[in-house]
Every structure is written in structure tokens, then in C-alpha cells.
Amino acid sequence: MRASQDQLIRPRGRRRALAAGLLAVALALTSACTDSDGGKPSSWQGGAETPAPKASATISEPAADAKDVPASTGITFAAKDAEETTVELKDAAGKAVEGTLAADGRSWQPSGALAYGTSYTATVTATGDDGRPATATSTFTTMAKPDKQIRVSSFLGDNQQVGVGMPLIVKFSREVPEDYRDDVQRRMTVTSTPAQEGIWHWVSPTEIRYRPKEFWKANSKVSYRVQAGGLPMGDGYYGRADLSVDIKIGPKLIMTVDNKTKRMTVTRDGKVIKTIPVSLGKKSTPSSSGTMVVIEKLRKTVFDTFEELGPEEGYRTKIDFAQRLTWGGEFIHAAPWSEGQQGSVNVSHGCVNVSMANGDWLFKNTEVGDPITVKGTERKLQNGNGWTDWNMSWDEYVKGSALPYDPDAPASPDDAATPTPTPTA
């Protein structure tokens, strides 16, 4: 019986111990779930709340719920204390829009104009050194397609090869008011391989050109883009569409004419490849001194100057191997009638006369955009009389830009120290 009583006592002891343990756990849980004043529950992590992300993001444009937003809009934002910033733009169906971050890390531009009358949501995510992301969103709706649109066109076509002096020429079908030119120019980009410094220059309210600081490097590849689709251009007009052009630069062929020697020196990539006798404009009709480029090439044409010069001085003549240099009518061309004077006497009406054989050779070896400099004549080339972009100093050319010139800016987007664009697909 003693042994049996002992067996009955032990279970009672274990039950008391178990009950005491459960009571202690219950008290501990109650303490952990109650603040020091016995009030509202706190965190399970020793009472500390989860800290907010260190970084922050805000979107300033387009504003949330904005209507009638131009289809050219970009996303302007601020990211504070961010180690990494990404931008995503999607339409109402969830389809992502491709785009890139600006070099300053404060804006993001879609790769093309947005669709008209469409809802989009922009999301900016900023991640700090704590690894915790903070996001900002803005849902907006683009404007309906406008009735008043401006067409943007390029003189050059895709994959065209041109000379090292060729300016990039973009034209607008309507004048762009001065107050809007900086906005237009911000949407114009040039990428060259290798990278080269250059700037846009407004020739007129309907035309803008781009040239590098020095002649294009031989055999460069150049791409230029105008993101004008949906862009406000003043007086209720908007850009009709974006424009993109890829071109190639040929060898560095440069022609130099010296009136003193009556010779043209032709160099290719720095080496003299031909010296050609010439006859320039006589004293009553002198050739222009300055730097021009070949504007167009005409294998055969007719010069008719009766309207310009009158019945006494005017003439109508068939011409071979003509290469236009000015709008005023100065050409390089073959002139078999002056071959006896070429190299010694000026007898032309302002053109650069060469022999038939040399005219043929030049025509086969030159391209539109090849530069020619004429020296020592009685008349100075007037800026605007042809593509006279290289007849201006760099400082003069910079003054034609609607944006301040930044010599430290990357010459090509490939050189820009920008955050890696986030894929939006």
C-alpha cells in the first residue's frame, strides 16, 4: 500500500508544477502584449515599432489625378536619401512604357509620345542604404489628340552617308515661338560614336541645326532624335510626332582653295591626295571667302542667270559635275571654256571652275557635307548664304542655342553618369 500511495502523490506534484508553469507563461504573455501603463498593445519585438524607410520619394509632375496632360510629358520627381531610384510607367491595362532617367536623376522621359486620351500610373521607388524601399505614385490622363499640330522633318535620311562638315538640320512646319524653343531643344538629343562635343543652333524660328565643336570625326556613327510628339509649341500647337535619324560620317575629305595660288588642295584624313588648278570669280563677280559645305550635287544641270543678271550679263549654260556651295549660286563645277585660265586668271561669275577631268574626279570623291574653305578673295562669305555653320566661331554658334551651354555635359548619353534605367516591361 505504501508503494501505491507514493505513486498517487507524484502525479499531484507534477500537476502543481505544470499549473504554476502555465500561470507564469500567461503572465509573461500579458506583460509582453501590454505597454508599461497597462494600455494599448505594442510590438512583439520588445515594444519597438517598425521604423520607416530611410529614403523617400515624391512626384511633382504630372500631379495625381491630373487631366489633359500633354502626350509628351515626362515624370518629374524627388528622391531623398536614395541609393537607388527606379521609375515605372504603366497604362490602365498594365502595359509598361519604356523610358530613361535623366542625367540629373530628377526626371524620367518615355521613349516616345504617350497615347492620347489614356490613363497612366507612374511609380517612383527610392531605396536607401537601409535597403528599404519607399514609393510614390501618380495616376493621370493624357489630353485628347489636338487639331493644331506642327510637323517636324529632317534634311537627312536614315543611313545616309555625309561629309565631316555636315550639320544636322531639323525643320518645323510652323514657327516655334522663342519662349518655347528651350522646351523643344530639351527634347532633342544627339548621340555619336565616338562621342563628340556639339550644340544645337536656331537658324530661324522654323529651323535648328547641330554641329560638333570641330568637324565630325571620320567614319563616325551619329543618331539624333526629336521627341516632339504631343509637345506644346505655342499658340495651341503641338508636335505631330517624334523624329529619329541615324546617319554615317564618311572619310575626312577637306578642300581648300587659295586665290593667291589659284589652286585647290584636297586632303583625305589629313593627307594631300590631289592639287587642282582653279579659276575663281573675276573682280566684278568675286567668289566668297569663307568655309562652306557641299549642299547638293548635280551631275548635269543648266545655269540660267538672265533673271538675276539681266540680258547683258545673263547667260544660259549647260554644266557638268556641279556641286552647290551657296544659295547665291556659287558652285564647284567643270568649266571646259576656262581650262586655259585655270591656275592663273579668275574669269568666273563667282564659282570655282575646274577642268572636266578634275570636275569628274571631285564629283566621284566628294559627298554632301564635305567642307571647302576659300581664301583671299575680294568678298567675305555672308552667314546664312548656304550652310555656313562652320563660317561661325564656336562662341558665335553657341549663342544660337536656346539653352545654356554646358561644356562639362556629356557629349553622348553613353558617357553620362546616370542611374541605370529600370526596365519597365
Write down the catalytic residue from 33, 201, 349, 351.
Answer: 351
Cα within 13 Å of Cα(111), Cβ side = 10
Q: What are phi and psi of 270, to 5 degrees?
A: 90, -5
Distance CA(42)–CA(52), nearest Å, equals: 16
Q: To which residue does cell 524653343 refer?
A: 181
DSSP assignment string, 48-73 = PPPPPPS-EEEEEESPTT--SB-TT-
- Asked if 351 is an active-site residue, the reply is yes
Which residue in 83, 65, 194, 76 sits closest to 128, CA to CA? 83
Chain centroid to Cα 419, Å, comes to 18
Query: Can you list the pairs that 38-47 forms with residues at least 24 positions away whose Cβ atoms lie under 8 Å?
Result: none
Q: Which residues contact 323 (CB under 8 A, 6 or more apart)?
A: 294, 296, 297, 298, 331, 332, 333, 362, 363, 366
Contact present, 258 and 358 (Cβ < 8 Å) = no
SS3 call for 334:
strand
Neighbouring C-beta atoms of residue 163, cutoff 10 Å: 24
Distance CA(15)–CA(220), nearest Å, equals: 90
Taking only Cα atoms into account, the Rg of the chain, rounded to an integer number of angstroms, comes to 36
- Cis peptide bond N-terminal to 336, omega within 30: no
Write down the catalytic residue from 33, 201, 333, 349.
Answer: 333
Cα within 13 Å of Cα(78), Cβ side = 4
Chain centroid to Cα 190, Å, comes to 4
Which residue in 199, 194, 192 sits closest to 213, CA to CA? 199
SS3 call for 199:
strand
- The vertex-311 CA angle with 309 and 312, nearest 5°, equals 85
Q: Which residues contact 149 (CB under 8 A, 6 or more apart)?
A: 237, 238, 239, 240
Kindly list the distances between the CA atom of residue 156 and the CA atoms of 111, 159, 369, in Å, as whole numbers in the listed order.
Answer: 22, 9, 11
Q: What is the DSSP letter of 231?
A: -
Q: Catalytic amino acids?
A: 333, 351
